[in-house]
Structure 1
Amino acid sequence: MPPKHRDGDVVAVIPGQWITHLHTITAGAAFLGAFIVGVSLHYHKIVENQYFTYPVEWFPSVSATIGDRYPERSVFQVFIAICSGPRFLLCFLFYCLVNRKGEAGPKWIVGVGVFRTLTCGGWTYVTSTDDHNWHDIFMVAYLVATIPWTVGCILLSPPNPTTIRWRKYLGGGFFAMLVPLLYFFLQHKVHRVPGAYTTYALFEWSVVLLDVAFDAVTAIDFAGFEIVVKDIKGVSRGDKQNVQDVVLEKQKDKTIAQVFDSRFDAKELADAAADAYLGFTFWSVLTSLGVSIWYFPLWHMGLSGYEVVVMSSISPMLLGIPPLRRLAGKNVPTLQLTMGLFGLGAYALKSPESRLLSVTAAVWQGCLAYVAVWWRDRGDAAKLEARISGFVIGLIASSIAKSANGTNNPTWPIMNETNGGWNKTFLVMFFLAIGWIYLRQTTMAPIGTVQKHEQPAKGASLLAGFGFAGLLFALHSLLSDSSTMILWVWSGYPVTGPLAVPHGAWTIFAMGLGLVFGLFYPNLARSWTAFGVGSIGAAFLTLYEDWTGYYGALALTVYLTAVTPTLIGNAVKFQPGRTFFTGFFVYNFMVLFHVWIVGYAFVPGGPLVREHTDWVMATTMLLIGCGVFSAVQNSNAGQQGATKSGTNTYSPPPNPAARRQRSNYIYILLFLQLLSVCVAYLRFPAYNYEPYHKDSRAITAGIWTIHFNIDNDMWSSDRRISQLIKESELDLIGLLESDNQRIIMGNRDPTQYLAEELGMWVDFGPGPNKHTWGCALLSKFPIVNSTHHLTPSPAGELAPAIHATILAYGELVDVFVFHSGQEEDVEDRRQQTEYMSTLMGSTDRPAILLSYLITKPGEGNYNTWVSEKSGMKDIDPSDWDRWCEYILYKNLKRTGYARLSRGTVTDTELQVGKFVVGEPEGSSELIPEEQVPHGLRFPALFRGEGVRGHRYHVFDEPRYYA
């Protein structure tokens, strides 16, 4: 066995703080050196951006300074390379400083520090000019690692008030600066505010300096260290010196972040991660049920009978039978296993009916499992809190997964490896989580175990069930996708409110903030004051647009996740069979209720609730109010005693929940919050879009009814839609039947993925709370202005319309997107025709109508659409084989028209027209393709048999006009 210590001649002694000083100097030299050189040699170049230059912008950003030009890029890279040595030593010394026997936290933190150092090298030596994607990946990874590094350094810091204080100030300042940093970046990128990029750059440099300064604090800690180099074999000529070898360690009593324990337990973190992943699986399964059901009435054009499976969530009624309740409590992991197998594995089944039945079984098992585990753990406050935390964090994770995948959950049965699904990956992760749960099961208390001090529940279980119903419906309908409420308040261009990207990350942040608030201040979360704030937020969301409405949405979001532990914790005090049967039954009624308000024409009695989102929201809050009333009745005696004695009733009530356990869930929340920011960053659009044939001053426009982006075989069609639009070289496209922001449709938004993938501006049209099936506009040209219209519909469904003005080749062009009412509602369609014809006739600018009219060419309403009143002309009056889709135009030169077959993507073809801006309208004379300039020709890809079922049909080839 080798000796633990060897004597020898000391040849060098390096004070520990010198490592920190060297790190600070070299890092500072890298950034400041590049800044000085850049400003000296290329000042006007590095302050310039894609919109403005000097003197509007006068301060360079970090990325422009260090990565764009020689020699400042080389100065930065040389000093960062030198900095890497002190950086690795700094991580090592910090590990030596905080390491304790039997603790994994220091090892984990030093691992994060090393990873962070490596990613710094990644974005340093792979510049955005070299490879923009990898540069961003390394940068985002660096920022992700900064959170655990900062938090870990603070928590593990030795009990030195000076270092703790400085780390808190500098770490807090770093993250605080990210808020204005993002704000001014959006002002520059989205709103193109002059000078905003300079302000953004100032905050960016502040973040860099704070990051370097945070690590500079280690100089205080390392003052007690010396690095000693000994010659143990006498090969040097060094002198012996007395060296301090050991630093006295003291157990610190942390006063900051009292929830965190100084010890780190990997098993407890694994418990929390497994709970969160099972929560993610449950929400993935529950949210997939609606979209699986939706396929059937969609293709039947009415009730199909399959809608009855929406009631599969009432399975907790079985827990009203004592033997089954005990059996379920003892076999929760098995119930969860079947939930995951049936739900996540449904994608492997071929037929839509099989996938629906598999998901139905998964929802049945999942709802039964969650109620059983809540009921089983009701006597242990720590375990119950853990299960509820995992439930809410699972919802947050599900929302982030959708945000990262174009608002489609990658585990859904409508997804597979060809259209963006990650089914196999998430299934493997599920097996790992459920395997860990099986290992943990032996520590669980048997069902029915109640602590001796537990008091009988007061009041009626009906109220508790109502509260759970309202809560579950609100969480599902509003928070299962981070863009849902943003689209509620969307009002068009110019942008005066939030955007799905990046502001969806704000919604996710509010969800996490609400959960933390509810855990630490349950008395306040259950109070009528909080309920009032949540109700006001709901009212603002329902009644107002833009930022005013969104601020209400954020207030409601915080309230909903804050009150979740209270309402669920109260509901499990009652008998689970009747309480949760009531809850899920009323929840299902609310799901149908919020579909009927827009689908009233297809269901019996539907007109009674026509267009009443306000009724749905009011009912939701009243149901939650019932749960709050029941929770207040059942608040425990300890809380009541605190109130009488004058103690702050907003503080956490007595709760045996372990602090370290709670910290693990907060760590997961922090990770998810940063992940959502990274997703928003990576999805942020470039806004550098160009039309396909700008040299020809051409506009290629299309109209397509995408049938809620579910194809003939119940697969998500986003990617196939995108591929056809790209191959058709469309500069403008109107999409109809595009609003999926309801539970029955999965709370999705296909326009987000299409806009980002195709590089187009997007206008969603009238929002989900406007009671339509949706219309949207995608444009390669900037949308200068847009207004949304709900056209007259006295008897039938509301018909949505968009009136947008685009800037095409320096000229303003009006674009109208419209979806007419149903064939049965003759008077509706007549009034809608009058309304839209008047609207189109009100502009003398060049205009294009992309529409769904339900009329025959030359008959009835057609003669109002194509008339002196509207000023519009039919793109091809000779095309008699049309009923639904039409393209009209005025004051533009029409050069081409084509019809593309739908394949199996949807139920309606894609119609396309080509126009030239700035030229007379031309004649109706047909000309051969050989006489048409190449920039005005349609792609040859779709001739003959075409590709993937898409080909030119009806005319069998495009038509061109002189």
Structure 2
Amino acid sequence: MASLKTFSISGSSIIKLHTFAALITFLVAALIANYLHYYKITKNSHYAYPNEWFASVSATIGDYYPERNVFHIMIVICSFPRFLLHIMQFFGKHPALALIGFIRTVFCGTFVYITSSDDHDIHDIGMIGYIVLTIPYYILNYKNNDNKSKTKILSHLLFFITLVPLIYLYIQHSVHIKPGAYSTYAYFEWSLILQDVLNDHLYHSSYKNVFFYLGEPQKEPISIKSNDNIDNEQKFLNEKDETPEVVVIEEEETIIITENIIESQQIFSGSFLVSSSIVIQSFLFFTNITGLLCIIWYFPLWWMGISGYEAIILILTGPVVMIVPWIRKYVVSKYSPTIGILLMVGSKFVELPENRLIVVGIACLFNSMGLLNQILSTFNYYQFTLYLLLGLSIFVSLKMYYLSNNPLWPIMNHTNGGWNIRALIVGMLYSVFMTSKPSVPERKINYSTKSFSIVSIVKKIINMIGLGSLFFATHQLLTDPSTIIYWCWEGYKENEKSLLYYPWNCVVALTLLASILVTPFIFKTLNKCKLNLKLVVIMLLTLSTYVLANPSFIEWDKFFFGGLVYYLAIILTYPFIITNLFDPNASIWSTVVLYGLSFFVYILFTLAHIWTVAYAFVPYGYLLRERLPLVLTVLTGCIILSILISPLNNEKISSTIKLTQNINKKTVLLAVTLNLYLILQSYKENDPFKEHLPKSYHSDDDIITAGIWTIHFGLDNDMWASEDKMSRIIKDMELDVVGLLETDTQRSLMGNRDLMQSLAKDLNMYYDYGPGPNKHTWGCILLSKYPIVKSEHHLLPSPVGELAPAIHATLEIDTNKFVDVFVFHSGQEEDPKDRYLQSKYMQKLMGSTPENRGAILLSYLVTDPHKGNYNNYVSEKSGMKDIEPEDYDRWCEYILYKNLQKVGYARLARGDITDTELQVGRFKYMAEDMVMEMGSSQYEYKLLEKPLEHHWRFNDRFLDEGEDGHFYHVLDRPHYYEWM
């Protein structure tokens, strides 16, 4: 075989090659684009030349042929030295830097190859991911490099400083629609490209002694050789740990932990059966605690105030009874999982709501004690944290798959999608397993306490507050992927991608799972970079809380920089807080009390959270009226305090050989696989338009059937989830448009449910959630068979009582045929000033629609017909007319309209679904020229026995006695109309 001449290239040359290739690639694309398509690439969604004069990077490299294709070809060439750079980093003993660099490069490829004109969302995700990963990439690059200089620091800082005007100008362009803002934005965008390329170039001299060889194989083949790195592997292999025991001395307390006990417990708790039981126990814990609060809400809802049944929430503090040794040993260790799951599943067979509440409360107590028992039986803080959070992620993914309802909840039964017999069988099998397996040993700590110091007591109080705050923070925003979406959603914008539950809840669920899995990697990387772990997590918590609490951040900015960052921050917080429960200086008694009383803090935050919106019905509610940002800020402050005193720090990470030591890989793999399966199935199955786009029931006749219904937060009279029942009635009444009131269940005390998901999917309708759970209203929803062209969310003036929400949406019922729809819930009877101001607001809003366009109001007005505020809603200024002025038996629900031909009107009894009827109006669309021609005569009608067209009739099944408690009432039969 012919001898092959050896060829080598230095790492420095590779980086220089990358710099040259990258600069040439962008330069060539820019020259071609500006020469061939200058006026096209400077045009954006709002302005064109001369208002805009400088093209953005995206428009230059991605919108037109041939520059797009030339750029893609050249960037592929550029990727070769780029990946060689990451290989050098990896084999140069910097695997973290290499991995982050590789992922960052993939994000770069995402926004380069998928341009904003291809898919705006994916393009933005790629861009944001690239910028976010630039932070750790620059930090690691600098920390791992021996040749440090002020030039590199200033260069890196300049990159991030440039982001400030970049973001500001983008907001000026996209939100304030300021001419020229995008061109100025483009200057900074191009400067970032140049800076990014040159920042990598600054490190070329660091790789001058790194070589790639190509030639004949040697006895010991070498792909990369570095003169700077010395292999110390043998040195570490020769080191032996001769320490027989670990002695911890703090003040006057001495604890001795023998090494063999630590090792045996770590191995025991790392077994597949035990680790799986922790994941299952965590899943049951989150299932039960969310289900308990969901049904607690039923009682103040029906009592319109404090009922007394809410006191059951105090049972959450019950685990303090485990300070009694025999309870812990003979009841909890063996039977808490059995009792907890059987009571939780068995509660579905308890019909009376009060009794079911008690059963679920006891089940929640035993599940919580079971979780505490797992804590006492596990030595490795991170090991337990991982299993706990995997249980949370399975709970979240399962809930998402079942359209925001957990099939194990006590509001779910065999009639509405709950797991009854199946859950009971699986629960019994699990109970048998937990009862038959060997008892998990508690942490063997020999302690001798001589005295307590004030400092140690204060620390324990802070730990208790931190744990309760963390549990509530998790419940508030992490137990349903849609909650954070509705904190950000502000309504449909024309020709813009909408941030709604599908498919973005899948992104949120994946973020949760990814955050859990990358936590040890992040900790190790930060520690290796000599960055303070606590400081980084505190910064993430503070930043995301500020974005979530600040009303100036909306939609995508709030979602990415507030919501998703908050998810990551809370997950990173868990190891710090959980470490407080694994304090080797703490007795079993101390751990039990800390855990049990932490739920008192959790309860206080739960009440504070609901007080912000329920201030009209609770004592001293005015103190927290509309102050959710304050509650969120205090919550984060409590968590930060606990982080600051946590024993987990850089030194502890350094002294730990592996964060994931003795983690059972089978358990983790199984949990991750189950999560990914549920998320994938949710993405595939939960699309409301999976089968086909919505189509109205009488589209050929331009008939619009609209309804208004106050649905009492989706709980029927017997405390079961009522979405399926509502869906059947809406179908039977052939509603094309329906406004639903009292719908905001995206709160901890209401289960963080999204009623809209199952309704939109089952009914095949477009949807708008209305003002979100951070807007302090009881909520309103719009469902429509017609596309929602645009919508606005309104918070009406409410100086005295509760906030009144409204949706103003424009629907396209056919090509270029538009109708405006208003969904509105006014204030309570006790607040006349509020209701007056709200009526004037709605009068102006309804009067602002195009002069001859049809409009419908679906509302809850709290007024007598023809009296008081009624005359503001039905007035010359609003232009609205009452669908049936002769119907005097109304107080809450009204349907008003204008510039439409009314065809029918009906009032349907609620059955056992809620406490309010369903009102329905049927209209025929009128072209604007016909509206102008008819003038006021369009509102002159006579009553008919039957409609002009037979198929325009309402469902005959509900005549006379009807069925299932639903029948036409008050009017006895539907009313039908004809022009006079």
State yes or no: 1:847 paired with 2:855. yes
SS of 1:672's equivalent in the other structure is helix
| Contact 1:521–1:652 (CA under 8 A) maintained in structure 2 | no
CA displacement, residues 334-375 of structure 1 (integer Å, 9 cap, x when unaligned):
112111112222111111011100011012222222223212
Aligned 1:321-360 pairs, distance under 5 A = 321-322=324-325, 324-325=327-328, 327=330, 331-360=332-361
Partner of 1:372: 373
Provide the rounded CA distance (Å) in 1 between the counterparts of 2:314 and 2:442.
29
Of 259, 280, 284 in structure 2, the residue corresponding to residue 281 of structure 1 is 284
Of 542, 545, 549 in structure 1, the residue corresponding to residue 558 of structure 2 is 549
Distance change (3 Å), C-alpha of 1:604 and 1:323 = same
Provide the rounded CA distance (Å) in 2 between the counterparts of 1:189 and 1:299.
47
Provide the rounded CA distance (Å) in 2 between the counterparts of 1:466 and 1:179.
45
Partner of 1:477: 476
| Contact 1:696–1:936 (CA under 8 A) maintained in structure 2 | no
State yes or no: 1:777 paired with 2:790. no
| Contact 1:775–1:800 (CA under 8 A) maintained in structure 2 | yes
State yes or no: 1:959 paired with 2:975. yes
The RMSD of aligned alpha carbons is: 3.4
| Contact 2:293–2:313 (CA under 8 A) maintained in structure 1 | yes
| Contact 2:947–2:953 (CA under 8 A) maintained in structure 1 | no
Partner of 1:40: none
SS of 2:481's equivalent in the other structure is coil
How far did 1:497 drift?
A: 5.0
State yes or no: 1:500 paired with 2:501. yes
Normalised by the length of structure 2, the TM-score is 0.68
| Contact 1:277–1:433 (CA under 8 A) maintained in structure 2 | no
How far did 1:324 drift?
A: 4.3
Q: Which runs of 5+ in 1 are unaligned?
A: 1-55, 59-160, 194-264, 643-648
Provide the rounded CA distance (Å) in 1 between the counterparts of 2:328 and 2:956.
65
| Contact 1:340–1:362 (CA under 8 A) maintained in structure 2 | yes
SS of 2:903's equivalent in the other structure is strand
SS of 2:680's equivalent in the other structure is helix
Provide the rounded CA distance (Å) in 1 between the counterparts of 2:371 and 2:747.
24
Provide the rounded CA distance (Å) in 2 between the counterparts of 1:689 and 1:465.
51
Partner of 1:211: none
Aligned 1:345-744 pairs, distance under 5 A = 345-377=346-378, 380-381=379-380, 384-442=381-439, 444-446=440-442, 448-449=444-445, 460-494=459-493, 496=497, 498-522=499-523, 526-543=533-550, 544-551=553-560, 552-573=562-583, 574=586, 575-631=590-646, 634-635=647-648, 639-640=650-651, 653-654=656-657, 658-659=661-662, 661-662=664-665, 664-686=667-689, 688-744=693-749
CA displacement, residues 187-234 of structure 1 (integer Å, 9 cap, x when unaligned):
9899999xxxxxxxxxxxxxxxxxxxxxxxxxxxxxxxxxxxxxxxxx
CA displacement, residues 598-639 of structure 1 (integer Å, 9 cap, x when unaligned):
0001111001100011111111101111210121xx237xx5
Partner of 1:749: 754
| Contact 1:526–1:563 (CA under 8 A) maintained in structure 2 | no
Q: Structure 1: which amino acid aligns with 2:417?
A: G
Aligned 1:884-903 pairs, distance under 5 A = 884-903=892-911
How far did 1:667 drift?
A: 4.4
Aligned 1:937-948 pairs, distance under 5 A = 937-948=953-964
Partner of 1:786: 791
Provide the rounded CA distance (Å) in 1 between the counterparts of 2:835 and 2:484.
30
SS of 1:602's equivalent in the other structure is coil
CA displacement, residues 279-309 of structure 1 (integer Å, 9 cap, x when unaligned):
2111111101111111111111111100111
State yes or no: 1:813 paired with 2:819. yes
How far did 1:526 drift?
A: 5.0
Partner of 1:796: 801
| Contact 1:321–1:577 (CA under 8 A) maintained in structure 2 | no
Provide the rounded CA distance (Å) in 1 between the counterparts of 2:817 and 2:391.
49
| Contact 2:738–2:783 (CA under 8 A) maintained in structure 1 | yes
| Contact 2:275–2:667 (CA under 8 A) maintained in structure 1 | yes
How far did 1:184 drift?
A: 7.5
Distance change (3 Å), C-alpha of 1:179 and 1:874 = farther
SS of 2:438's equivalent in the other structure is helix
Provide the rounded CA distance (Å) in 2 between the counterparts of 1:681 and 1:602.
42
| Contact 1:293–1:356 (CA under 8 A) maintained in structure 2 | yes
Q: Structure 2: which amino acid aligns with 1:714?
A: M
How far did 1:471 drift?
A: 0.7
* Greater displacement, 429-438 / 528-537: 429-438
State yes or no: 1:302 paired with 2:305. yes
Q: Structure 1: which amino acid aligns with 2:890?
A: R
Provide the rounded CA distance (Å) in 1 between the counterparts of 2:498 and 2:276.
35
Q: Structure 2: which amino acid aligns with 1:853?
A: L
Partner of 2:916: 908
CA displacement, residues 53-109 of structure 1 (integer Å, 9 cap, x when unaligned):
xxx999xxxxxxxxxxxxxxxxxxxxxxxxxxxxxxxxxxxxxxxxxxxxxxxxxxx
Distance change (3 Å), C-alpha of 1:871 and 1:758 = same
| Contact 1:765–1:801 (CA under 8 A) maintained in structure 2 | yes
Q: Which runs of 5+ in 2 are unaligned?
A: 1-62, 66-90, 124-267, 527-531, 932-936
Aligned 1:829-840 pairs, distance under 5 A = 829-840=835-846
How far did 1:388 drift?
A: 3.1
Provide the rounded CA distance (Å) in 1 between the counterparts of 2:422 and 2:570.
31
SS of 1:762's equivalent in the other structure is strand
* Greater displacement, 828-837 / 656-665: 656-665
CA displacement, residues 148-183 of structure 1 (integer Å, 9 cap, x when unaligned):
xxxxxxxxxxxxx9xxx9xx99xx99x9799969x9
Number of positions where the alignment pairs a residue of Structure 1 with one of Structure 2: 707
Q: Structure 1: which amino acid aligns with 2:975?
A: R
How far did 1:923 drift?
A: 4.4
- Percentage of identical aligned residues: 38
Provide the rounded CA distance (Å) in 2 between the counterparts of 1:416 and 1:356.
15
Provide the rounded CA distance (Å) in 1 between the counterparts of 2:901 and 2:707.
16
How far did 1:867 drift?
A: 0.5
How far did 1:670 drift?
A: 4.1
Provide the rounded CA distance (Å) in 2 between the counterparts of 1:550 and 1:872.
37
How far did 1:507 drift?
A: 1.5
Provide the rounded CA distance (Å) in 2 between the counterparts of 1:414 and 1:305.
20
How far did 1:186 drift?
A: 12
SS of 2:739's equivalent in the other structure is strand
